[in-house]
Each structure stands twice: as structure tokens, then as C-alpha cells.
Amino acid sequence: MDTANLKIDLIQKIALVKDSDIIKEIKRVLDFELSEGIFKINNAQRKRISEARIEVKQKKVISETVANKEIDQWLGK
């Protein structure tokens, strides 16, 4: 399905949604994706990024393929 058809499909599905929380979440995601401003992070996020950088340096990471396999196992796929 091309982008134009995906957009039409998405608009039609959104129009059917009655739960305002779902609509708010869709809006939040779109606002974030379309934002051209600077993304600000809080101290907890900054700390976690620092920890993740240390994990990468220490090679305490797994590949996307391995992570996806683990997720599939957790989901019972």
C-alpha cells in the first residue's frame, strides 16, 4: 500500500475511534513526529542515556535480531 492509501486508511480508522484517550495518544505521537523544535529531556532520561552509553562501551548489548527473537518468545510466537 502506498503512502497516500495508508493515510486515507488511517484517517478512516481514526474517524471510527470513540475512545478519547486513543485519539489523544495518536495526536501526541503526531505532534511529536511533526515537531521541528528541540526535544528536551529530563534528568531521569539524561541519566538513562548516560547509562546506555556505558553499556554500549562495555558491549552489554544485543543485536536487534536477538532482541526480536526474545520478544517473540515472550509473546509466545
Report pLDDT digits (tens) over 19-76.
999 999 999 999 988 988 887 899 999 999 999 999 999 999 999 999 999 999 999 9
Q: Identify which of 32, 28, 30 has the alpha carbon closest to the alpha carbon of residue 10.
A: 30
pTM for this predicted structure: 0.49
Question: What single DSSP character describes residue 37?
Answer: S
Grid coordinates given for 46: 539524561
Grid coordinates given for 61: 548489548
